[in-house]
Copies of this chain bind each other. A is one copy, B any other.
Amino acid sequence: MSGVSDSCFINKLDHYLQLTEREKLDLLVLEESPQVYEAGTVLYAEDKDEADALYIVQSGRLHASTVLADGGRALLKLHFAGDIVGTSNIPFTTAISTVTVVREARLCRFPRSSLTTLFEVHPRLAALFYSVGMLENVSLTDRLRSIGRTDGLSRIGSLLLEITSRLRVTNKDFGNEVELHMTQADIGDAVGLTHVHVNRMLRELADQGLIERTGSTVTILDEDRLREVAHFTERYHRIETDWFPAAKE
């Protein structure tokens, strides 16, 4: 079993499903071995690079962004350990967003061509893949609601809670102290506010005793109350697997 746990996918998918030996072995063959990318690296750029691979995040942090008409930038997705990066490029030939490494990351490249085999040989894994993709859609609709219909305080609270929630998926004994790895301008690009107002809202959250800040790490002091303020709805990070095809072998 040693070495197997080095597979990005197995760690990821095993979280949702008990993989069979056959599934694990085949996944190992399909993915490339993990590689380290330093902070600042651009994995691929929108409207420019070919979108011919996915990347599974073993560790580190990345985000997907897009350039706006006014020269600004919007952060579309945050990627954590366990995430599959690049799925939205699947239907396209060219990348539709820019993905940047924010904190040194270990990634396994998974060429799109490997998907062919995956879908052909392992329908159960294909189903899991599909479900994970739909989970991401749900996460996007949650952000749509937050950004479209709530004020700055809620939006930022929401973001903080989303980040901690996502980190807890792969790190059960995660406390309430989060290193954001985002500047206040980044936060603004993520929730649709200027960095000036982000600053004020963070301060406001601190003044209300909901969080505490030291540098770019945030400690959530009163999570329950923060959830109320942010109207945050926790999504169960488990997947309905009843309908999945049987595993091969």
Interface residues on A, range: 35 or more
A93 → chain B closest CB, angstroms: 5
The A interface, classified by DSSP as helix, strand, loop or mixed, is helix
A154 → chain B closest CB, angstroms: 9
Contact of A127 with B by CB under 8 A: yes
A87 → chain B closest CB, angstroms: 6
Does B87 contact A137, Cβ atoms closer than 8 Å? yes
Q: Which of B126, B135, B191 contacts A148 (CB 8 A)?
A: B191
Does B240 contact A92, Cβ atoms closer than 8 Å? yes
CB-nearest residue of chain B to A241: B91
With a CB–CB cut-off of 8 A, which chain B residues contact A92?
138, 236, 240
CB-CB under 8 A for A134 and B90, given A123-B123, A145-B66: yes
With a CB–CB cut-off of 8 A, which chain B residues contact A134?
87-91, 133
Does B140 contact A141, Cβ atoms closer than 8 Å? yes
A26 → chain B closest CB, angstroms: 14
Does B144 contact A147, Cβ atoms closer than 8 Å? yes
Does B133 contact A69, Cβ atoms closer than 8 Å? no
Complex CA distance for A132 and B74, rounded to whole angstroms: 24
Complex CA distance for A137 and B119, rounded to whole angstroms: 20
Contact of A129 with B by CB under 8 A: yes
Contact of A116 with B by CB under 8 A: yes
Complex CA distance for A220 and B52, rounded to whole angstroms: 37
Q: Which of B74, B91, B120, B138 contacts A123 (CB 8 A)?
A: B120
CB-CB under 8 A for A76 and B144, given A91-B138, A126-B126: yes
B-contacting residues, A139-165, CB 8 Å = 140-141, 143-145, 147-150
With a CB–CB cut-off of 8 A, which chain B residues contact A145?
66, 68, 74, 76
Complex CA distance for A69 and B135, rounded to whole angstroms: 22
Complex CA distance for A25 and B93, rounded to whole angstroms: 31
With a CB–CB cut-off of 8 A, which chain B residues contact A68?
145, 149-150, 231
Does B144 contact A74, Cβ atoms closer than 8 Å? yes
Q: List 20 A-B contacts (CB under 8 A).
A: A66-B141, A66-B145, A69-B231, A74-B145, A76-B145, A88-B134, A90-B130, A90-B131, A90-B240, A92-B236, A97-B141, A116-B243, A119-B123, A119-B127, A119-B244, A119-B245, A123-B123, A126-B130, A137-B140, A143-B144
Q: Please name 4 further chain A to chain B contacts, defined as beta carbons within 8 Å, in addition to the given A90-B131, A116-B245, A119-B124, sorted by A numbering.
A: A66-B141, A91-B132, A91-B138, A136-B137
